Chain A
Amino acid sequence: MSLKEKDEHDHLGWMEEKQLSPIEKGYLFTLIWLDKRFRVVDYLELLETMYYRVNLQMPKSHTEQYNLDNKFWYWYPLYALGSFSTLAYVVAALSGALLGFYYTPSAAAAETGTVAYSQIAMIMQDLQFGFMLRSIHRWSAQVMTAAVFLHMLRVYFTGAYKEPRELNWLLGIVLISLTMGFGYTGYLLPWDQLAYWAGQIGVEMALSIPVIGEWVAQLVFGGFSLGAPTLQRMYILHVFLLPFVVTSLIAIHIAIVWMQGIAEPH
């Protein structure tokens, strides 16, 4: 492996003996000229060699050892759903951090509606790339929820939750609940009609819990009817409490997979 020039093929001589139109000749000449100078292809070939050499060092997986690949390969995409959820989470975190620069969790009256709602309108209509930023945040959130759910189905139907991985399954149940908590608190933040009545449903669901219902409604929604405290709490849950908790739990979840290895098919 080195970037030393190999015994190179004579491209220009080759071009002479071929019947090429002037455009093709100019095209190839330009690209060869660029390649001689930037040598991107050489670097890519180097990466290719390294990829195969590293792969040779890896221990054989269960599927390789017992030659299950021919029967099992079409399930492999489903084994990417965990990574896919993590990726969606990272994208949501980054776009959310940027959105945080422009959003204000205030239910105070603005010219039209509340401050929170007019900030969302500002992001969508006036801020450069604001529409894109909020769309990325929303879509990655939706994708994460869907991917986490499908990941759970994959783990269930391949029996990957079985001993010795019960703990990680339970941790996963906690994580899918917290993901939905993320979704719900974020859903309320625009403080439009959709958010407001979803919040109303939330309060009533909390109140329906026996014995501790009123206490839960107070704690989570800041009262029995929606108002400034509700929005404030949803915001803090969404951008402070949940990010710390969920990030830590995802780290533990992945660390356990790392230590135990992926549950391979039998």
Chain B
Amino acid sequence: MADDDRRTDGREGRDVEVPLRLYKTVTVFSTLIAVFAVVFGFLLLDAAALGTGLLRQLARSILGALSLSPSDSLLSALFAVAGLLSIALGAAVYVLGTRFKAAEMSAGDD
């Protein structure tokens, strides 16, 4: 099947032909998930960089309820890693979504 091969025009990347309705599902939900993941990732980075802020206080109080009190630098590091992971996840979801094309789209292959 043509859509499972490498593209013939020499560009990297795989194209998978899907029905139009499924293409819409992929586009809408992958974009939504990517946007939320990236914005949330930046919020986490913000919480890592600022000593104050709601997210950090929330994390502190939840950890406090478990009688844990991590140091500020450890908390910052965790927030930073979680933020970068969230952004990477958003990017990955979006990029994975771009390989699915509706029938008419992969035929022309600009």
Indicate if the CB atoms of B1 and A19 lie closer than 8 Å. yes
* A140 to B26 CA separation, bound complex (whole angstroms): 35
A18 to B29, CA, bound (A): 21
Contacts of B99 in A (CB 8 A): 24
Q: Contact check, B30 vs A41: say whether CB atoms are below 8 A apart.
A: no
Cβ contacts under 8 Å, A9 to chain B: 19, 21-22
Residue A14 lies at the interface, judged by CB distance under 8 Å to chain B: yes
With A9-B19, A34-B29, A40-B29 known as contacts, the answer to whether A128 contacts B52 (CB < 8 A) is yes
- The distance in angstroms between the C-alpha atoms of A45 and B19, with both chains bound, is 16
Q: Is the CB of A40 within 8 A of B32?
A: yes
Question: How many residues of B are counted as interface, with CB atoms below 8 angstroms from the partner's CB atoms?
Answer: 22
Is B7 an interface position by the 8 A CB rule? no
Kindly specify which of A25-33, A78-86, A116-124, A176-184 makes contact with the partner chain.
Answer: A25-33
Task: Tell me whether chain A's interface is mostly helix, strand or loop, or mixed.
Answer: helix
Question: Is B96 in contact with A44, judged by CB distance below 8 angstroms?
Answer: no
A27 to B96, CA, bound (A): 8
- Picked from A20, A40, A44, A45, the residue with its CB within 8 Å of the CB of B16 is A20
Complex CA distance for A169 and B100, rounded to whole angstroms: 51
CA distance A23 to B14 in the complex (A): 13
Interface residues of A in 39-56 (CB under 8 A from B): 40-41, 44-45
Query: How far is it, in angstroms, between the C-alpha of A72 and the C-alpha of B26 when the chains are bound?
Result: 36
A11 part of interface (Cβ distance < 8 Å): yes
B6 CB–A CB distance under 8 Å: no
Q: Which of A169-215 contact B (CB under 8 A)?
A: none
Query: A35 at interface (Cβ–Cβ under 8 A)?
Result: yes
* B28→A24 contact, CB < 8 A: no
Specify which of A31, A45, A128 is in contact with B26 (CB 8 Å cutoff): A31
Q: Which residues of A contact B64 (CB under 8 A)?
A: none
Contacts of A27 on B, CB cut-off 8 Å?
93, 96-97
Residues of A within 8 A of B (CB): 9, 11, 14, 18-20, 23-24, 27-28, 31-32, 34-35, 40-41, 44-45, 128
Q: Which 4 A-B pairs have the closest CB atoms?
A: A35-B25, A31-B29, A41-B24, A19-B4
